[in-house]
Amino acid sequence: MINAIYGKKIGMTQLFNEDEKVVPCTVIVAEPNKVCQIKTTDTDGYEAVQLGFGAIKPQKVNKPMAGHFAKLGTEPTRYLREVRVENAADYKVGDLQTVEAFADVKKVHVTGTSIGKGFQGVIKRHGFRGGPGGHGAHFHRAPGSVGMCATPSRVLKGVRMPGHMGCNTVTTKNLEVVRIDAEQNLILVKGAVPGAKGGIVRVRMA
């Protein structure tokens, strides 16, 4: 079976559980994902299905993608993603993956792109402690020593330094599924998931 579905992170809310305790939840809208292409070991070297989701006007699809959809004989979609399966021949183009497949799932892994923070220093990026705040100190938020003087006369690879932070693929594992709303294509999971509002996320069965 296809063990994942793609959707968009709407934001966060809260629900009350059976013990009348507040449960923070992330709301993910996952419209039906359509199987657009079948990839088998004979044709592509591995077993997978290509899922399409997101509405798009046909005139906004570029020529390479328009040819791709025309060859497959399916309507264009805004996004295309692949999901590995055990036997891709069990599926056919046009099959739909909906949130109903997660009705009996207790926990999921959610993958998304973390929020970009831009260029950041070592205190925010790596959690460095920093230097003293006053009393004439000239060392506050600088990284400090990054290498040796004579040998090997260079900065070794892997030294934690300032740089671009965020925009990484992050997976939050074993999130509890709080509620499934099949009518509105919603999945509510306990806790926070990576990414900003409107970001594409993958929900995979744990």
- In the chain, CATH 3.30.160.810 covers 4-114+170-205
What stretches of the chain adopt beta strand conformation (E)? 4-16, 22-29, 33-39, 48-53, 79-84, 96-97, 107-113, 118-120, 163-165, 169-181, 186-190, 200-205
CA–CA separation, 7 and 3 (whole Å): 14
- pLDDT, residue 54, reads 93
Judge: domain 4-114+170-205, CATH 3.30.160.810.
Answer: yes
75-89 pLDDT, tens per residue?
A: 999 999 999 999 999
| CA angle, 92 then 97 then 103, to 5° | 140
Backbone φ and ψ of 47, nearest 5° = -100, 120
Question: Using an 8 Å Cβ cutoff, are 77 and 111 in contact?
Answer: no
- pLDDT, residue 82, reads 95
- Single pTM value for the model: 0.88
- pLDDT, residue 18, reads 87
Question: Using an 8 Å Cβ cutoff, are 51 and 82 in contact?
Answer: yes
160-187 pLDDT, tens per residue?
A: 999 999 999 999 999 999 999 999 999 9
Q: Which residues of the chain register pLDDT less than 50?
A: none
Residue 39: count other Cβ atoms within 10 Å of its Cβ. Answer: 17
> Which residue, 30, 25, 32, 31, is CA-closest to 179?
25
- pLDDT, residue 148, reads 87
Helices (H), the chain: 41-44, 63-72, 122-126
- pLDDT, residue 151, reads 87
| Residue in the structure block whose two tokens are 């579905």 | 5
By CB atoms closer than 10 A (0-12, 13-18, 19+), residue 54 is middle
By CB atoms closer than 10 A (0-12, 13-18, 19+), residue 58 is exposed
